């Protein structure tokens, strides 16, 4: 009788998935290779879903960290591709496409480090005053005194 994924130690299976993710492989590729018997994608997603009866918080933590670490691998790959383009080993157009795809993916996996958006949220006390200063531009920009407009001479 063939061995099924349910016969494999669940801890070993989850560790295998996380290790392969840390090595930069996609979940699709991991499931396609099937070096050890693995469950369907839906089962793995149920381990990641807090609303599922099979939710595994530890697996979710490791999975999230592995995905974020993949962004760093993508960043390293971008540098490798750029060096190969400079040496003439990779067509510049193909290199540009690959680099853009890796940049986009890294930005989604680790947005705080590689994302396009700047976080300008306020994390301090609410209710404090904000002082705004206007610094004159070496006399080229004259400030009105006490909120009054300057009278022409």
Q: Is 144 a member of any domain?
A: no
Structural domain of 109: 5-114
Q: What is the mean pLDDT of the chain?
A: 82
C-alpha to C-alpha distance for 153 and 133, rounded to whole angstroms = 27
Q: Is 100 a member of any domain?
A: yes
Record the tokens describing residue 6, joined without a space: 């349910």
Q: Is 21 a member of any domain?
A: yes
Q: Is 67 a member of any domain?
A: yes
C-alpha to C-alpha distance for 105 and 151, rounded to whole angstroms = 58
What DSSP letter does each residue of 13-60 carry, written as one string? HHHHHHHHHHTT--HHHHHHH-SS----HHHHHHHH-TTSTT--HHHH
What confidence score (pLDDT) does residue 137 get? 59
What confidence score (pLDDT) does residue 35 get? 72
The answer to whether 55 and 49 are in contact (CB under 8 A) is yes
φ, ψ of residue 9 to 5 degrees: the values are -60, 120
Q: Is 23 a member of any domain?
A: yes
Domains of the chain: total: 1
CATH number at residue 70: 1.10.10.60
- The model carries a pTM of 0.63
Q: Using one digit for the tens of pLDDT, what is the confidence trace for 81-127?
A: 999 999 999 999 999 999 999 999 988 888 888 888 766 666 767 76
Record the tokens describing residue 56, joined without a space: 């595994």
- Split at pLDDT 50, 70, 90, the class of 44 is very high
Q: Using one digit for the tens of pLDDT, what is the confidence trace for 18-39?
A: 999 999 899 999 998 877 788 8
Model confidence at 136: pLDDT above 50 = yes
Q: Is 10 a member of any domain?
A: yes
Model confidence at 140: pLDDT above 60 = no
């Amino acid at each position: 009788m063939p061995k099924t994924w349910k016969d494999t130690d669940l801890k070993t299976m989850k560790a295998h998935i996380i290790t392969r993710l840390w090595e930069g492989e996609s979940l699709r590729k991991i499931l396609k290779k099937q070096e050890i018997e693995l469950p369907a994608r839906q089962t793995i997603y149920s381990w990641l879903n807090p609303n599922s009866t099979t939710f595994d918080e530890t697996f979710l933590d490791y999975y999230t960290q592995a995905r974020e670490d993949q962004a760093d691998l993508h960043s390293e790959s971008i540098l490798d591709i750029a060096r190969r383009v400079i040496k003439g080993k990779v067509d510049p157009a193909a290199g540009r496409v690959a680099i853009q795809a890796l940049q986009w993916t890294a930005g989604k996996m680790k947005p705080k480090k590689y994302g396009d958006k700047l976080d300008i949220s306020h994390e301090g006390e609410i209710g404090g005053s904000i002082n705004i200063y206007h610094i004159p531009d070496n006399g080229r920009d004259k400030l009105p005194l006490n909120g009054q407009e300057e009278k022409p001479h």
